Every structure is written in structure tokens, then in C-alpha cells.
A = this chain, B = another copy of it.
Amino acid sequence: MTVTPVPAHATNVAIALNAVIAVVDGDRPKVLCVRSGENKLALPYGPFDPERHRTFEIGVREWVERQTHVSLGYVEQLYTFGDKGREAPAAALLDGHGERVVSVGYLALAPGPADLLAEDAVWMDWYSIFPWEDWRKGEPKILRDQIIPGICKWIDGSSTAEKKNTRQRRANIAFGLDGFGWEEERTIDRYELMYEAGLVFEAWRDRKDAHLDLPAGKQPTAGTMGQPMISDHRRILATAIGRIRGKLKYRPIIFEMIMPTFTLLQLQQTVEAIVGFEFHKQNFRRSVEKSGFVEGTGETAQLQAGRPAGLFQVDRAGLKDRAAAGLAVPRLKRPGETPA
């Protein structure tokens, strides 16, 4: 066996960099978007220029700043999306060459929405794009009323009993059906299932050889199942949300998303905004205090009514130290759930 050299002709690939820039504004999780042609929603993205950028991260920082006037703090690589056809709908944005575009997605976190935005940039609420992901006020109606029925129909439409089983299992895991728990970090599984089932606008938009057997009048239109986005940007965003929700549990990234000084309720609401459900206040307080990540500043917040809350700040020493742990996030519990 010989090691195959990387041939020079395998170079007609363009690399795009996509950024998911996430913040929490009060109790609303937001992501930085841009309005591209025809007012369509997109993640900020730009080309990777190997001449100018020593690393991907430098590239991302540079043009996000140029395009949106936001300068990034915490940044990590998300995933590299290279499937054929994924970029097709964005082809019009290319210079007309039908070349393959590979996207390297990046995730950035910031402590709050910046004010000085470029004109076409907007902060979008996550849950206007993924309405089924917000359980803070109980199970989202859209889930029970539209999505689950749609998924069930898709399951029933399987060609063989075996495929039906597979679909059922995937749905159970993704949506926490049939005794399985809702796992908030499975955002991408849910989106992909909905895409396959033809429940999101993008599925209909992208189909060419797709096997969506929905009657023409019943195709999802833009907006009914959350704001659609350009190309596969919504998939990238789903990946990012899942990543944040998952990572929260084992790394203290939440403190990249909060102001220098905060009350424990604000911290809790920030976490709740991200994971999409609420939890027990006293227990949250207990776990945060025990974590060693925060320390009280002697001061208290002057709020509206009620006893004033103590102000806290990140205990930088403790934080860097335990770069290990994350915050304890409980499980979402639905009404009649039996413990495993």
C-alpha cells in the first residue's frame, strides 16, 4: 500500500466560513443573522482566503467584525459541512461557477447583544426559528398540534415494517416520546427528522429528487414551522444550539454569555433561555454556590419589587481552575413521567 498523495487537481473546492454568534438578552436567546437578497435570513458567512488567513478562526473573526461590527470573544469550531447539494440553494450567491462549497461552521458566544450593528444585521430569537425548542412555558403547542402528528404520519408512511421501526425509534429518541426523556441538546436530530418528514420549509425548497409525498397544498410554507434560512444555515444553527446546550453541562461556558455582574436569578434565566426549560430556583442556587464559579460582591441589585438580590461576579480564579466542570442542569420532566 502506498500513501496516496493529495493531488493538486482536487482543488476546485471553495471553503466558506459560517458563524453562529449566540447571546442571551434577558430571557431571550438570540443569534446574529444577516438579511440577504430578497430579505432572506442567513448566518453571517464569508469566504476563507488561504492567502490572508493563517487560521480559520482568524478568518472568522475578521469578516464577522467587518460585516456586522461585532467583535468576537469566545470562539470554537462547530462542524464542517460538506455534503453535495447542501449549498445548491445558495448557488446564486456564488460567482456562477458550479463548484463545490464546503462550510466550516464556528460558534461564538458573547455576553449580550452588541448595539452597534451593521445595517443588515439582526439579532434573532432562537425560538422564532425553532419554536418547538422552547419548553419554558410548558410543552410548545406547535409540537403537540403539528409536529408530532406530522412525524407520526411520516412514520406510518414507511415502506417496510423495519423502516417503520427505525423511524419510530429515531423519533422517540429525538422528541422524547414514549417514555423517553426530552433531551434538549438533540436539536439537530429533531431538525433533521423534521426535514426528512418534510415538515420544514427548507425540505420543500430543496427537493428535487426528494421523495416528499405531501400533497401540493400541504407543503410547509415559510414561517409556519419557524423562520426558514438560506441554504443549510438552519441546520448549522441547530447544530450550534445543540452544542451549547450540551457543553453547558461540562464546561463553564455560560459565563461567556453573562454580564460581569449579575444576580443568581439572571444567571438562572440565562441558562433557562438556552436549555429551553425552567428549573427549581433553590436547587439552582445551591448548585451554583457550591460550584465555586461565582463569588458575591457585597452589593445588592436594586430591582422592582421584592427583596433585593445579591450581586455576584465570576470567580475568575475558581473558574480557570475548574475549567473542568459545567453547571448542573436538571432533566426536563414532563407531567406523567416515570423515573427510569
Q: Which residue numbers of A lie inside 8 Å of B, CB to CB?
A: 1-8, 10-16, 34, 36-37, 42, 44-50, 53-56, 63, 67-68, 77, 79-80, 82-85, 93-97, 99-102, 104, 118-121, 169, 172-173, 180-181, 183, 320-321, 323-324
Structural contact, B15 and A10, CB atoms closer than 8 A: yes
- From residue A58, how far is it (CB to closest CB) to chain B in Å? 9
Structural contact, B13 and A11, CB atoms closer than 8 A: yes
A-B residue pairs in contact (CB < 8 Å), sample of 23: A3-B44, A3-B45, A3-B93, A4-B47, A5-B47, A5-B93, A6-B16, A6-B45, A6-B93, A6-B95, A7-B47, A8-B95, A10-B47, A11-B11, A11-B14, A13-B13, A15-B82, A15-B102, A54-B83, A55-B83, A77-B80, A172-B321, A173-B321
Could you list 15 further interchain pairs (A-B, Cβ under 8 angstroms) beyond the known A53-B84, A56-B82, A82-B104? A3-B34, A3-B44, A3-B45, A4-B67, A6-B14, A6-B94, A7-B95, A8-B94, A10-B15, A10-B50, A13-B48, A56-B83, A172-B321, A173-B321, A173-B324
Q: How many copies does the complex hold?
A: 2
Structural contact, A324 and B3, CB atoms closer than 8 A: no
Contacts A1-B119, A183-B324 hold; do A100 and B50 have CB atoms under 8 A apart? yes
Structural contact, B97 and A8, CB atoms closer than 8 A: yes
- From residue A188, how far is it (CB to closest CB) to chain B in Å? 13
- Specify the chain B residue showing the minimal Cβ separation from A166: B320
A55 to B173 CA separation, bound complex (whole angstroms): 25
A229 to B47 CA separation, bound complex (whole angstroms): 31
Structural contact, B55 and A10, CB atoms closer than 8 A: no
Residues of B within 8 A of A68 (CB): 1
A50 contact from B1, B12, B93, B183, Cβ within 8 A:
B12
A120 contact from B1, B54, B321, Cβ within 8 A:
B1
Residues of B within 8 A of A46 (CB): 4, 6
Structural contact, A5 and B94, CB atoms closer than 8 A: yes
Structural contact, B1 and A121, CB atoms closer than 8 A: yes
Structural contact, B320 and A169, CB atoms closer than 8 A: yes
- Specify the chain B residue showing the minimal Cβ separation from A85: B54
- From residue A253, how far is it (CB to closest CB) to chain B in Å? 15
- Specify the chain B residue showing the minimal Cβ separation from A63: B4
A167 to B55 CA separation, bound complex (whole angstroms): 22
Residues of B within 8 A of A321 (CB): 169, 172-173, 180
- Chain A to chain B: the 9 pairs with minimum beta-carbon distance, closest first: A1-B118, A50-B100, A1-B120, A8-B95, A3-B36, A80-B80, A54-B84, A10-B47, A8-B97
